[in-house]
Amino acid sequence: MKIFFSSFLTVLIFLQPIFSAAQRKTVDQRVDSVLRLMTLEEKIGQLNQYNDDWNATGPVTLDSTKKEQVLQGQVGSLLNCVGTLRTRTWQNIAMQSRLKIPLLFGQDVIHGYKTTFPIPLAEACSWDMDAIQLSARTAATEASASGINWTFAPMVDIARDPRWGRVMEGAGEDPYLGSKIAYARVKGFQGNKLGEVNSLMACAKHYAAYGAAIGGRDYNSVDMSDRLLWEVYLPPFKAAVEAGAATFMNSFNDINGVPATGNKYLQRDILKGKWNFKGFVVSDWGSIGEMINHGNVKNEYEAALSAITAGSDMDMESRCYKNSLPQLIKDKKISAALIDDAVKRILRKKFELGLFDDPYKFCNAEREQAALNDPAHTKIAREMAAKSIVLLKNENELLPLSKNIKTIAFIGPLVKAKKQNKGFWDVEVPGVDSNFIVSQWEGLQNKFGSNSNLLYAKGCDIEGDDKSGFAEAVNVAMQADVVILSIGERRDMSGEAKSRSNINIPGVQEDLLKELLATGKPVVVLINAGRPLVFNYTAEHAPAILYTWWLGSEAGNAIADVLFGPALGGINPSAKLPISFPRSVGQIPVYYSHFNTGRPATDDSNRNYNSSYNDLSIFPKYEFGYGLSYTSFQYSDLTLSKKKMKVNEPIEVSLRITNTGKYDGEEIVQLYLRDKVGSIVRPVQELKDFAKVKLRSGESKTIRFTIDKEKLSFYNQQLQWVAEPGDFDLMFGASSRDIRVKDSFELLN
C-alpha cells in the first residue's frame, strides 16, 4: 500500500507539469516526459492493439481480461470500436489506468462512414482529386464525430489482377494516378492538421506490394524485382508520406521471401530511413504471428524480435509483442531504445490528436448526431457517385434516355437491393440500418416520377442457374419503350479474402440479357461490381453499358442522374477506367504500361511469332483511361515550346480541346510519354499528367502542361532516379489506346 501510494505521488508530481504547462512544451518534450514515467510493461502496452468484441476480419483471441489490461495500461489502441457511447466507455477505462494514457480507436473507414461513398476503385474513375479528397474529408467528419480517431485507409496498393478481391479498395493499376489519389485521400482524411476535431489519422496500407499477390490470390506471396517495386508499387506510398500520413500498415505477404511485417528494408531503410517517416507502423491483423506460418521465424518470440527490429511499431491482434517483448529485453536481444522509439512514435500521435488534452475529444454525442445526419453529406455522396460511373458503350446515342419515354422496364437482381450498393468495407454504424440507402429502383422513381410507367421484374438471382423468372422479365420488357437491366456480382464477392478464379458475370444474368435483347427493345445494362468483370457477350451485344461499380448510399439517385443526363438535371458521365479490363482470365495481368519486348505485337494482324496469345486479341476489352461521354471532344493544335530540352529547362506544351457534341461535358485529357531508349527498357507508354476539362457544348479551351526532368526520370540499374538523354514520344489521349495527338522531343545531354 505504501509503495503504491508513493509511486502514485511520484506520478502526480511528474504529470502535473506535463499537463498544466502543456501548451508551452513541444510535442516531443511532452512525449519524453510521459515516457520517463512508464514502466516497461506500460511501454509494451502502447504497442498492443486489440479488436473490440465484434466485426473481425481475422481470428480473434477471446480474452476476458481485455478490460483489465486496459486498466493496467497494457493496451495502446482498439479497433472496430465505433460510436461515441462505446468509445467513451473504453476511454473511461483507460482513464482509470495509472498514467491515463488515452486509447486510439482505429477503424476501416474505407469509403465513407454512415454516408457511404463509391468503393475506392470507382472513385478513382473520376480522376477528380478534389472530389476524392472531399469524399475522404466527409468520411472523416462523420467518423471523427463518432469516437474514431484513426482510419485504416487509404489502401494505396497498385493492383493489376482483377482476380484479387481487394482490387476494389485501391486506385487501380497506375503508379502516377495512384500516387495522386493516395495524396488526395490522406489529405482528405487528415484535414488541415491532426488535432482538429474532425481530423482522422490516415494509414497508408498495405506496405508493401500486397496488390501483387501471385495469381491474384489474397495473402499470397509476392516475387518482384527492385525496379518494379520502386517504379510501380512504392510511389503511392511515397506520396502518402509526402501528404503527411500519420501511420502506415504493413502487409500479410512475403516479398521475395521476406514477410513484409518483418522486412527491415521496407520499414527501416526505406520508410523510416530514406523517406524520413515520423509516424508509426501498425502490423496487419495478426501478421506478426503469421510470420511463423510463413516459415520465417520459429515461434512468437522470434516473430516479435523480427517485427520490432524491422520497424513494426504496433501489433494488431497477434499478441506476440505483449507475450514476448519483455523476455526479449530480458535476454538482451533488443534494446530498450528500440521499444522507446516505437512508443514515442505512438505517443506523439496521441499528443498531436489532442487526446492528452481531451481524451473524449471524439466522443461528443451531439456532434455525432449532427454529423451523421448532415444533408450536405448526402449531396456530396451523390455527386461523387455520378462522377464514378463509367459509360462503356452507347450505340446510336441510346443514352441519355429521353425524358419523353413513357414506359421503362427495370429488370435484374440488383434493382431493388439497398445494402448491396454499399459494396465491401462498409461500416456498421450503431443504430443505423440500411433503409436510408437509395436503391436503384428508388433512384429511378425519384427521377422519373409519377408521370411514368416504371415496371419491374427480377429476372434471376445473381448466382445460380434458375431461369424461371425469365418469362416474366420478357413480358415486362415487351410492355416498355426501353429496358434497363441491372446485373453484376454480389457486394461481398470482391473485397478482402474474395479472390476469384472466375470473374465472369455470375449465374444466368447474361442469358437473361440475351432473352431481353431478343424482344428487340433497346437495353441499357448496368454492371455492378467491385472489380473489372469479364462480360464479352454483354460488351458485344448490349447497345449501352454503364459500369456502376458499387456507388454507396446514393447509388440509386446517381445512376438515375446519369441515365437521364443533363436534360433532367442530371450528369453527363466523364469517368475513365483506372485499370484495364481483361477479355478473359487468361489475359491477366493486362496493363497498358508494359514493355515493348523484342517481338512486339502492335495490332491483332501481326500477332504471329510476336508477343501475344494465339487465341486472343492483344488488347484488353477496355483499356486504362477508357470511358465515354454523351458528348464528343476534339484534340488539336498540339504545340511544344521547343523540341530539344536541356535537363533543367522544361518544355511547355499546349493543346486545344473542343467540345464538338451537343451536351456540356468534361474530358479527362491524358498525357503519356515514351522514353524511346533506356538503360533499363521503358514502357511503351506511361501516364505522366492529366487534366479534367469542363467544356460547354461547342466550347474550346487551350490547356497547358509542363514537361520537366521529373516526368522523364526513372530508376536506373543502381536504383538512382535519373533522366537519360534521348528521344521521347509525347502522346495525348482520351484513353491509353485512343491517342488523339502526338509529337516527339529530345532530352539533350
Q: Would you please indicate which residues are annotated as catalytic (active-site) residues?
A: 284
Q: Which is nearer to ligand BGC, 231 or 496 (CB)?
A: 496
In 352-420, beta strands by DSSP E: 390-394, 407-411
Q: Mind giving me the DSSP string for 501-517?
A: S--BPPTTHHHHHHHHH
Nearest distance from residue 218's CB to ligand BGC, in Å? Answer: 9
- Residue pair 59/319 in contact by the 8 Å Cβ criterion: no
For the CB of residue 188, give the shortest distance to ligand BGC in the complex, in Å. 18
Going from the C-alpha of 726 to that of each of 254, 393, 458, 705, the distances in angstroms are: 38, 39, 59, 20
Nearest approach in angstroms of CB 645 to ligand BGC is 42
Helix (H) or strand (E) holding 86: helix 84-94
Asked if residue 318 binds ligand BGC (CB under 6 A), the reply is: no
C-alpha cell at 526: 448496368
Residue 745 in the binding site for ligand BGC (CB under 6 A): no
Kindly state whether residue 238 participates in binding ligand BGC, applying the rule CB under 6 A: no
Distance in Å, CB of 86 to ligand BGC, minimum: 16
Q: Least CB distance from residue 437 to ligand BGC, whole Å?
A: 22
Select from 230, 285, 321, 549 the one that contacts ligand BGC (CB under 6 A).
285
User: CA–CA separation, 118 vs 121, rounded Å?
Assistant: 8
Q: Report the chain's C-alpha Rg in angstroms.
A: 27
Q: Which residues pair with 633 in a beta bridge?
A: 659
**Residue 174 near ligand BGC by CB under 6 A:** no
**Residue 490 touching ligand BGC (CB under 6 A):** no
Q: What are the b/e assignments for 326-338, b being 16+ CB within 10 Å?
A: bebbeeebeeeeb
Q: Which is nearer to ligand BGC, 156 or 457 (CB)?
A: 156
- Residue 57 in the binding site for ligand BGC (CB under 6 A): yes
Query: Among residues 252 and 535, whose Cβ is nearest to ligand BGC?
Result: 252
50 binds ligand BGC (CB under 6 A): no
The verdict on 195 binding ligand BGC (CB under 6 A) reads no
52: contact with ligand BGC by CB under 6 A: no
- What are residue 194's DSSP bridge partners? 196
Identity of the amino acid at 693: V
| Interacting positions 253-272 with ligand BGC (CB under 6 A) | none
Q: Is 58 in the site for ligand BGC (CB under 6 A)?
A: yes
Per CB under 6 A, does 631 bind ligand BGC? no
Residue closer to ligand BGC (CB basis): 60 or 99: 60
Nearer to ligand BGC, 200 or 480 (CB): 200
Residue 346 sits at the vertex; the CA angle it makes with 340 and 349, to the nearest 5 degrees, is 135
Cell of 482: 426501353
Burial (Cβ within 10 Å: 0-12, 13-18, ≥19) of residue 517: buried
Q: Is 290 in the site for ligand BGC (CB under 6 A)?
A: no
- Any contact of residue 113 with ligand BGC (CB under 6 A)? no
Q: Name the minimum Å distance from CB 470 to ligand BGC.
A: 40
Candidate list 52, 231, 284, 315; residue touching ligand BGC; CB under 6 A: 284
736 binds ligand BGC (CB under 6 A): no
Residue 78 CB, nearest approach to ligand BGC (Å): 11
Does 283 participate in binding ligand BGC (rule CB under 6 A)?
no
Q: What is the nearest approach in angstroms of ligand BGC to the Cβ of residue 575?
A: 25
Q: How far is CA 9 from CA 5, 290, 404, 745, in A?
A: 6, 42, 80, 73
Residue 155 or 380: the one with the smaller Cβ distance to ligand BGC is 155
- Pick from 494, 480, 493, 487: which is nearest to 448 by CA? 480
The strand pairing partners of 488, in sequence order, are 528
Q: Which is nearer to ligand BGC, 148 or 563 (CB)?
A: 148
Q: How far apart are CA 465 and CA 617, in angstroms?
A: 30
The 3 state secondary structure assigned to 534-585 is ECHHHHHHCCEEEECCCCCCCHHHHHHHHHHHHHHCCCCCCCCCCCCECCCH
Task: Write phi, then psi, for 693 (nearest 5 degrees).
Answer: -115, 130
Cα–Cα distance, 467 to 507 (Å, whole number): 10
Of residues 319 and 387, the one with the C-beta less far from ligand BGC: 319
315 binds ligand BGC (CB under 6 A): no
Quickly list DSSP for 153-174.
--B------TTSGGGGGS--S-
Asked if 152 is part of the footprint of ligand BGC (rule: CB under 6 A), the reply reads yes
Q: Considering the rule CB under 6 A, would residue 220 count as an interface residue with ligand BGC?
A: no
In angstroms, give the least distance from the CB of 213 to ligand BGC.
12
Taking the least distance from each CB to ligand BGC, the nearer of 110 and 558 is 110
d(CA 578, CA 113): 24
Q: Would you say 284 or 675 has its CB closer to ligand BGC? A: 284
Q: How far is 474 from 464, CA to CA, in rounded Å? A: 19
Give me the 434-473 binding string for ligand BGC, x by CB under 6 A, dash otherwise. Answer: ----------------------------------------
376: buried, middle or exposed (CB in 10 Å: 19+, 13-18, 0-12)?
Answer: exposed
Least spacing, CB of residue 206 vs ligand BGC, in Å? 6
Identity of the residue, 231 or 290, whose beta carbon is nearer to ligand BGC in the bound complex: 290
Residue carrying C-alpha cell 433512384: 443
**Strand blocks (E) in 52-189:** 77-79, 104-107, 150-151
Whole-number minimum distance, CB 642 to ligand BGC, in Å? 47
Residue 499 interacts with ligand BGC (CB under 6 A): yes or no: no
496 binds ligand BGC (CB under 6 A): yes
Binding-residue total with ligand BGC (CB under 6 A) = 9
Q: Is 205 in the site for ligand BGC (CB under 6 A)?
A: yes
Q: Which amino acid is at 687?
A: L
Q: Is 161 in the site for ligand BGC (CB under 6 A)?
A: no
Q: Is 426 among the residues that bind ligand BGC (CB under 6 A)?
A: no
The residue (of 56 and 370) whose beta carbon lies closer to ligand BGC is: 56
Q: Cα–Cα–Cα angle for 654, 686, 383, nearest 5°?
A: 75
Question: From residue 652 to residue 671, what is the string marking binding to ligand BGC with x (rule CB under 6 A)?
Answer: --------------------
- Residue 368 as a binder of ligand BGC (CB under 6 A): the answer is no
CA nearest neighbour of 95 among 109, 116, 65, 75: 75
> Minimum distance from CB of 314 to ligand BGC (Å)?
12
Residues that bind ligand BGC (CB under 6 A): 57-58, 79, 108, 152, 205, 284-285, 496
